[in-house]
Chains A and B, each alone.
Chain A
Amino acid sequence: MAQAAPRTHARKRPHARTHASGPTIDTKDFIFASLVHDVYYQLIRDGYFPASYKLDADNALRDIMLSFIKKDDGRLVKTWKTFRANYIYFAVKIFGRFSL
């Protein structure tokens, strides 16, 4: 189990929420996915999670976006949304580290 940094005081500020930031369009699926992603990053910044959780955050972002276009039987149909989910994934994978 990964060890989070020890915390001895109560949290003082609320969690940060930036929505989908950067050169992108705020579609519903991306807003939904970015919400979970923002929580992950905030928890890493606050020292609750170790930095290794960035990988989970980025993967979750892509998975959530893809879950919007999955068929009922779990089949994934390749559309422009699949491409979008992937390029956003690589963007946060590369540039996300600067916000941690």
Chain B
Amino acid sequence: MENLLHRKKRFEGYRNYFYYDTRGNLTAFWGHNFSFGVISNKIKSQCGISWVKKYPLPEEVGELFLHEDTISSLKNIIKVFGLTKFGMNDITNERLSNLEALECEFPYEVLTVMEDMMFNMGMSRFLKFKRMIKAVKEGDYYEAAKEIKWTDAKKQEKLSLYYAQINILVRRLEDKGVDNTFHRAEENISLMIKAAK
């Protein structure tokens, strides 16, 4: 389960200083959101950014937050899919802290995809993927992979919010000239298909 952390480090860019993300949330480290209220773009533009790199933050703290965020996402995943899938009677931080010992009925690929989606979208937005959750519960991972990409997998007309959001992010990075950009939603879908096989 330690791979969950490595995967997240690969997906999320690391910054050892505070910055405001595109939505105006105060963020630092591997995309940890401090949930301190939102700053409007107008105020953001008025403030210079010269101060941010003057105060580097310790990486150990970033590691702690990454670990805590992963535990928090896993907790939510367990709440959604049920304790029995993870062979637990109750959720304890001590049990979840040891990621290597965590066992679940899903294939490992499915758990990483679910955890990644939960981390990115949060509980409320994750719960909107009702058909995907149902497909995962039933073990139909191929169907779940389609539900990640489309709002309605049968019609396949409109991209899901999650997929569209990653599309925008990738396009923005490409516009900036960042090399080696990868589509994490596509990678998640291919992982789900791999689990289906």
Answer whether residue B47 sits at the interface, using C-beta atoms and an 8 A cutoff. Answer: yes
Q: Are A35 and B26 CB-contacts (below 8 A) given A4-B61, A15-B34, A49-B58?
A: yes
- Find chain B residues with CB under 8 A from A17 CB: 36-37
Nearest CB on B from A58, distance (A): 11
Q: Are A67 and B43 CB-contacts (below 8 A) given A11-B68, A15-B36?
A: no
Answer whether residue B22 sits at the interface, using C-beta atoms and an 8 A cutoff. Answer: no
In whole angstroms, how far apart are the Cα atoms of A68 and B51 in the complex?
11
Q: Are A60 and B48 CB-contacts (below 8 A) given A36-B26, A39-B34?
A: no
Answer whether residue A10 sits at the interface, using C-beta atoms and an 8 A cutoff. Answer: yes
In whole angstroms, how far apart are the Cα atoms of A4 and B96 in the complex?
22
- Find chain A residues with CB under 8 A from B71 CB: 10
Choice from B46, B55, B96 contacting A68 with Cβ under 8 Å: B46
B51 contacts A56, C-beta separation under 8 Å:
no
Nearest CB on A from B92, distance (A): 10
A24-67 CB contacts (< 8 Å) to partner B = 28-29, 32, 35-36, 38-39, 43, 48-49, 56, 59-60, 63-64, 67
B31-73 CB contacts (< 8 Å) to partner A = 34-37, 39, 43, 46-51, 54-55, 57-61, 64-65, 68, 71-72
Choice from B34, B46, B55 contacting A60 with Cβ under 8 Å: B55
- Find chain B residues with CB under 8 A from A4 CB: 58, 60-61, 64
A2 contacts B43, C-beta separation under 8 Å:
no
Nearest CB on A from B34, distance (A): 5
B68 contacts A63, C-beta separation under 8 Å:
no
A8 contacts B58, C-beta separation under 8 Å:
no
Chain A interface, number of residues (Cβ within 8 angstroms)? 31
Choice from A8, A10, A48 contacting B61 with Cβ under 8 Å: A48
Q: Are A49 and B61 CB-contacts (below 8 A) given A35-B26, A36-B26, A68-B47?
A: yes
Nearest CB on B from A42, distance (A): 8
- Find chain A residues with CB under 8 A from B49 CB: 67
- Find chain A residues with CB under 8 A from B50 CB: 63, 67, 70, 74
Choice from A3, A15, A56, A60 contacting B35 with Cβ under 8 Å: A15
Choice from B43, B55, B61, B94 contacting A32 with Cβ under 8 Å: B43
| Beyond known contacts A15-B34, A63-B51: 11 more, CB 8 A cutoff | A1-B58, A4-B60, A4-B64, A15-B36, A17-B37, A29-B46, A39-B34, A49-B58, A64-B47, A70-B50, A74-B50
**What are the 3 tightest A-B residue pairs by CB atom distance, in nearest-first order?**
A67-B48, A63-B51, A56-B55
Report which A residues bind B (CB closer than 8 A).
1-4, 7-11, 14-15, 17, 28-29, 32, 35-36, 38-39, 43, 48-49, 56, 59-60, 63-64, 67-68, 70, 74
